[in-house]
Amino acid sequence: MTQRRALITGGAGFIGAQLARRLLDDGATVDLVDNLSRGVQDELLAELSARPGFSVHVADLRDPSSLGVLGDDYTHVFHFAALLGVQNVLERPNEVLRENVTMLTAMLDLAGRQQALERFVFPSTSEVYVGTQQFFELPIPSPETTPLTVSALDRPRTSYMLSKIYGEALCHHSGLPFTIVRPHNFYGPRMGLAHVIPQVLQRIHDSADGDELVVYSIDHRRTFCFIDDAIEYLVRLLDTDDAVGGTFNLGVQSPEVTMGELGELLCRVVGRDLRIVPGETAPGSPYRRCPDMTHTIATTGHRPAVDLESGARRTYEWYRGNVFEGDGISAR
Ligand SMILES: NC(=O)c1ccc[n+]([C@@H]2O[C@H](COP(=O)([O-])OP(=O)(O)OC[C@H]3O[C@@H](n4cnc5c(N)ncnc54)[C@H](O)[C@@H]3O)[C@@H](O)[C@H]2O)c1
């Protein structure tokens, strides 16, 4: 097998940096590109930077001239940079649509110029199923073959999933050896603070026994996938030609937990005895979300190995040391 030369955009972020570490461990060379708008140059990037075959380019993918430093001999291009997060989506839908499509188009062009490209990986999102859930009967667990519904175009929340659906179509018509993945609620160390698990961990960490823990959308059900399992799926998809041209849910099919059960589990992890109190239901948040993992498991042979409680403990240990009681450098 020829040595893999990987380019990861958004590589300072949550998934990109963990993937970089794994690819280096497996003998690849890795270039990261990130504008550090969300990702941070912290201990993990310092550790990776000390390793041979690794480099970081601080560049903004919205500026095509910034791509000039990148080579033409990547075998694998992972386009993970995106404008995401509920706050961006609700407050800046115009930028979410335009920037996600602009960045993807630039990266598809760059991937098309590579001399020996083996794979272009594009992360879509579990949000692509939301329109079908709102207006039709969505099968749950949801298979990748579910017909997608694009509606409510005037709603800011639609912007992110629409940019991803359009992105999926761009991949299909790119002529490249692509793989599309649809991540469902990954969690783990170094994911920022704009996601439910680190947010709830922080609130519990800052509470005392007997305090209330207000849980929003308390009866909504989700599954959560620890980052190590997500990375295992990703690298195994690279190892099989069956994944070329395919679309794969990435996540965990069971157990489904309610937000209330998640709150109880996280209290156990932090070691606090709190009273769980129902809060508001977040507008636009689907009642239930769960990927059908049959296709991905059959293609990769991997089944999730990290259960929710163990993953939550590892996540809490990292956040306690690095964010809640640390220097906070990795907090955003
Ligand atoms: N984490 C999940 O559970 C999840 C779920 C669904 C989809 N995804 C998708 O996976 C990808 C990676 O997600 P993540 O959780 O690692 O997000 P992240 O925010 O941690 O990483 C994205 C990175 O992209 C960088 N970036 C943003 N705009 C840029 C620009 N103009 N130029 C250069 N870099 C830029 C950010 O600084 C950040 O480091 C995204 O495309 C996201 O839409 C993730």
Q: Which atom of ligand 1 is nearest to the CA of 124?
A: 7
Per-residue pLDDT, 69: 87
Q: How far is the CA of 255 from the centre of ligand 1 (A)?
A: 26
Q: What is the pTM of this model?
A: 0.97
Radius of gyration of the chain from its Cα atoms, rounded to whole angstroms: 19
Q: Which atom of ligand 1 is nearest to the CA of 61?
A: 32
To which residue do tokens 């007997």 refer?
210
Please give all residues whose beta carbon lies within 6 A of any atom in ligand 1, as ranges.
Answer: 10, 12-16, 34-39, 60-62, 80-84, 103, 123, 125, 183, 185-186, 192
- Whether residue 272 contacts residue 204, with contact meaning beta carbons closer than 8 Å, is answered with yes
- Whether residue 329 contacts residue 318, with contact meaning beta carbons closer than 8 Å, is answered with no
How far, in Å, CA of 188 to CA of 183, rounded? 14
Q: How far is the CA of 83 from the centre of ligand 1 (A)?
A: 7
Q: Which atom of ligand 1 is nearest to the CA of 40?
A: 39
Sheet holding 54-58, edge to edge: 54-58, 29-34, 5-9, 76-79, 119-123, 178-183, 246-250
DSSP codes joined into one string, 46-92? HHHHTSTTEEEEE--TTSGGGGGGS-S--SEEEE-----SHHHHHH-
3-class SS of residue 247: strand
Q: Which atom of ligand 1 is nearest to the CA of 126?
A: 6
For residue 223, give the nearest of 197, 192, 193 by alpha carbon.
197
List Cα–Cα distances, 328 to 190, 321, 322, in angstroms: 11, 9, 6
User: Ligand 1: which of 7, 9, 14, 162 to mutate, judged by most atoms within 8 Å of the beta carbon?
Assistant: 14
How far, in Å, CA of 43 to CA of 322, rounded? 10
Q: How far is the CA of 261 from the centre of ligand 1 (A)?
A: 28
Q: pLDDT tens digit string along 269-328? A: 999 999 999 999 988 788 999 999 999 999 999 999 999 999 999 999 999 999 999 666
Sequence-ordered list of residues with C-beta below 8 angstroms from that of 263, at least 6 positions apart, any chain: 200, 213, 215, 218, 274, 276
Q: How far is the CA of 207 from the centre of ligand 1 (A)?
A: 30
Give exposure, 127-158, as e/b (b: 16+ Cβ within 10 Å).
bbbbbbbeeeebebbbebebeebeeeeeebbb
Q: Whose CA is nearest to atom 5 of ligand 1?
A: 183
Q: Which atom of ligand 1 is nearest to the CA of 36?
A: 37
Per-residue pLDDT, 285: 82
* H helix runs in the chain, sequence order: 14-25, 43-49, 86-91, 93-112, 130-135, 158-172, 196-205, 227-238, 259-270, 294-300, 308-319
Q: How far is the CA of 96 from the centre of ligand 1 (A)?
A: 12
Q: Does domain 5-191+226-252+291-305 have CATH number 3.40.50.720?
A: yes
Sequence-ordered list of residues with C-beta below 8 angstroms from that of 179, at least 6 positions apart, any chain: 119, 120, 121, 122, 237, 238, 243, 244, 245, 246, 247, 248
3-class SS of residue 249: strand
Q: How far is the CA of 294 from the centre of ligand 1 (A)?
A: 26
Q: Whose CA is nearest to atom 4 of ligand 1?
A: 183
How far, in Å, CA of 248 to CA of 181, rounded? 5
- Whether residue 73 contacts residue 5, with contact meaning beta carbons closer than 8 Å, is answered with yes
Q: How far is the CA of 278 from the centre of ligand 1 (A)?
A: 31
Q: How far is the CA of 319 from the centre of ligand 1 (A)?
A: 19
Per-residue pLDDT, 32: 97
Q: Which atom of ligand 1 is nearest to the CA of 84?
A: 43
Per-residue pLDDT, 331: 57
Q: Whose CA is nearest to atom 34 of ligand 1?
A: 34
Residue by residue, pLDDT tens for the chain (332 residues) are 689 999 999 999 999 999 999 999 999 999 999 999 999 889 999 999 999 999 999 999 999 888 888 999 999 999 999 999 889 999 999 999 999 999 999 999 999 999 999 999 999 999 999 999 999 999 999 999 999 999 999 999 999 999 999 999 999 999 999 999 999 999 999 999 989 999 999 999 999 999 999 999 999 999 999 999 999 999 999 999 999 999 999 999 999 999 999 999 999 999 999 999 999 998 878 899 999 999 999 999 999 999 999 999 999 999 999 999 966 665 56
